[in-house]
Amino acid sequence: MSERERTKVHVIPHTHWDREWYFTTSRSKVYLVKHVKEVLNALENIEGFHYYLLDAQGSLLDDYIRWCPEDEERIRNLVSAKRLMTGPWYTQTDQLVISSESMVRNLYYGTETARKYGHAMKVGYVPDAFGQSAQMPQIYREFGIERFLFWRGVSDNTNPRTEFTWEGSDGSQVFAVQMPFGYYYGGNIPEDAEDLQPYLEKQIGALENKASTRHIYFPNGFDQAPIRLNLPQLIERFNELDDKREYVMNEPERFMAEIEADSHDLPVLRGELMEAKHMRIHKSIFSTRADLKQQNNQIENFIANILEPVLAISHSLGHEYPHRIVEDIWKLMFENAAHDSIGGCNSDTTNQDVAFRYKQANDIARNLLDLHMRMIASTIEQEETFAFTLFNTLPYVRGGVTEIEAYIPEESFVIRDTKGRELAYTIVDKVDQTDYVLGQHIDLNPSRKVYLPDRVYRAKLLVELQEVPAMGYTQIIFDFTQGTAPTIERRNDQHIENEFFAIVVEDNGTLTITDKTSGQTYANQMVFEDNGDDGDSYNYSPPERDLIVSSIGSKLNVTTAKTTVLEEIQLGCTLNVPADLHEREAGISSGQLPIQVQVGLRKGEQLIRFEVQVQNQVLSHRLRVLFDTGLASSLSIADQPFGVIARPTSLPEAEVWEREKWQEKPITIEAMQSYAGLNDGNRGIVVITEGVREYEIVGEKMDTIALTLFRTFGFMGKENLVYRPGRASGEKIVATPDAQLLGKLNFSFALYIHHAGLDEANVAHVAREYLTPIASYQLCDFLNGRLIFAFRDEERTLPQNYSLMSFNEESNAVLSAFKKAEHRDGYIIRVFNPYLKQNAQATVQFNQSVSVERVSLAEQSLEPAQVIANKEQVITLPELTHCKLLTVLVSKSN
């Protein structure tokens, strides 16, 4: 056999290092120290041990150096020589329920970390993520990564070979190689000669049957695997025993370069990689530990949508941009974004660590925002005692009813904007905190007269704003010299309305919604449906004998509250449900599931807002809320990272999966970023959420949106599920009582009904507004003290209204990020096309003369900016086709 015809087996020594799982991060880090020391010693001292892949997670080296700083130079030498491989990720992130900006920052900081040590691997290495997002080819290429090495998501009915071209939603392509039998396939190599030869024939033969070239990827490692110190000697024995093949030690970059050079006429696979025929993708992991998923989603949105833009505004006004603090916040989120961590498929102890990191990230982020809003507010020219500074972090002027938290005295007042216009408002809730607030006041300058009210209430207000400048701030003033307290009209009726909708609670517990614009009526809305969950931390799975309980027909308590800015239905019901799986099997319902709902219509808003509180008192079940659209559809629509995706509402594979022995049943439970729904080109309904990013289209006609609120279970892993036969995923002996989520659970979501196609309805813009509330800061002398830390008086030089930049009215691209650039002067603007069919573009106006350069997601220069400068302060960004993203660096002109 010629050298060219011989199979070349690339033996890749590696470990897949879960930072946490059924064990905690603390345990993992302690053992990581031992592992990395052994790897360093092997690479430096064992002849023939050329390479080692440290799971492509830069965070592992950060963890190690924190405890072993004396080894930093050793690591730099090995990484620089491309012998110890790391990056491009910071942690091995999920791709379906993590936000687009979180994925981008994970790659950004992962690449930065790896380069700090000498080299970032240019391979999209994803050994264990539960499915691959359709936008990853574009994201990879933006980071200069053109090769993709993975395991989960492709089966032989789609592609029988290991090599193919993967094309993303936007048309970007990467060269892809699958590890068809997993990253652990070569982890157990026998050493006796009589065992070794048949082992090689079987293991390598199976890989050869999958390959379209002579190159074979043979990974030697598994989860938390110790390094195989005698691997060079074993490879020598492979070559002695097997003259049909050539065995070499290698690493992913070199392997991918060699196999790509020999790959020709490859098939093209398009879109998401989510098949589970030969490997599990745990598709319903989207709703595992709903409490943690909610925290993740809220903090991700808060960082990218509010915190970073306010920090950029603050920087433009002369304050230092806190890069390292923001980096620390993101890295806490990345630790939780790792596929097991965000999946929630962990022990309860580990999930407690996850929750604590969310607490840390949230605390740092919100206090950082508070500080910078305060630094701005305290230097605005004003004499008023009560002034609130409002921050709009979207690139256009906003108005409408917004929620503000405030400390207010007992007196009545009116609210005015900077133009003197009186603003309608209502006080939703208030609590007396006089002793707490005034008892913490500090007089830094006793000579200065300070207003101290007799009583102080912590209140939640809804205020109808007129104009808040784009990417900037304005103020509203509370005037206590006049005004009467707004009233709330409370009734026992069952009807509310605003300019767009009229909503009635029917006797059977459902809502009937009338769209006033079109006259269309939607009946049977907001049906709560509870069913059993016989699954585990990886998969939802129905019991073999289930009992489904609907809120239709439940006894209701209904009241309404009506003000000038809000009309709201307050609805309560209790579902009689099985207490556990045994009762479901027997058809018994001794448990109770109390549900409280607030359905709100704000003045001038084309959204129906829902606040749901559930007192969970039963075990192993799933609660969803259903909206009947009346739109029978073969496709659902949802947002994905930097775009939109249409998915089938039924799968033909679901009819044959048992006969073909799939690892999991193909299901249409899907992921989203923030919205999902149906549209027939003329009208549509979408559900927008910051909670669990999971939905399914159900009903005989596939016309009903089912939004998952939560699901619960009692064990990390279980065997022989209806949706996942065979072995347990995870550890079946690990009980997870915390995952039953007993206690009070809260959920927020909105319904957007529109009579237009999806593109014309601007669904992505509506969703972005819903997830980007206007932030506010209250500057009052009586609050200056231990409550928020004392501030000295600052010189007041800033105007009461300020806008850093704005999009013109014709702009239809969606803003994804606005932040200070990491290592250069100027600001990063990232936009994307959110539409199914039409192109998108943005024209941006700054408050100063600027220069513009197109950069990558890595914030690296790509080429001279392809923009049209109408004048020095206005830039027109290039037009974006379907699902395309664009990042530019905007700097002051010299």
pLDDT at 2: 41
Reference 149, options 36, 279, 259, 15; nearest CA is 259
pLDDT at 1: 34
Widest CA span in the chain: 97
Tokens of 97: 């329920």
Cα-based angle 132, 667, 206 (whole degrees, multiple of 5): 55
Distance, in Å, from the CA atom of 535 to the CA atom of 711, rounded to the nearest integer, reads 9
Distance, in Å, from the CA atom of 880 to the CA atom of 863, rounded to the nearest integer, reads 17
Distance, in Å, from the CA atom of 424 to the CA atom of 484, rounded to the nearest integer, reads 12
pLDDT at 481: 86
Strand-pair partners of 599: 569, 610
Tokens of 181: 């039998």
pLDDT at 3: 46
Distance, in Å, from the CA atom of 815 to the CA atom of 101, rounded to the nearest integer, reads 11
Q: Are 233 and 193 in contact (CB under 8 A)?
A: no
Tokens of 264: 């020709």
> Which DSSP symbol is given to 781?
G
Residue at 882: amino acid letter: H
Q: Are 36 and 60 in contact (CB under 8 A)?
A: yes
Question: Locate tokens 């092997």: which residue?
Answer: 42
pLDDT at 440: 81
List the catalytic residues: 128
The SS3 call for residue 338 is strand
Distance, in Å, from the CA atom of 112 to the CA atom of 118, rounded to the nearest integer, reads 10
Q: Which residues of the chain, if any, have pLDDT below 70?
A: 1-4, 384, 444, 447, 863-871, 894
Q: Are 808 and 873 in contact (CB under 8 A)?
A: no
Reference 538, options 279, 728, 272, 335; nearest CA is 728
Strand-pair partners of 246: 8
pLDDT at 841: 97
pLDDT at 789: 80
Measure CA of the first residue to CA of the last residue in the chain; give whole Å.
67
Contacts of 70 (CB under 8 A, 6+ apart): none
3-state percent breakdown (helix, strand, coil) of the chain, nearest 5: 25, 35, 45
Tokens of 686: 């979408």
Reference 39, options 9, 71, 87; nearest CA is 71
Contacts of 185 (CB under 8 A, 6+ apart): 179, 203, 207, 218, 219
The SS3 call for residue 745 is strand
The domains found in the chain, sorted by start residue, are 7-278 (3.20.110.10), 289-377 (1.20.1270.50), 387-487+773-802 (2.60.40), 490-632+696-770 (2.70.98.30), 804-892 (2.60.40.2220)
φ/ψ of residue 486, rounded to 5: -65, 145
> What is the reported pTM?
0.97
Distance, in Å, from the CA atom of 297 to the CA atom of 99, rounded to the nearest integer, reads 8
Distance, in Å, from the CA atom of 595 to the CA atom of 577, rounded to the nearest integer, reads 12
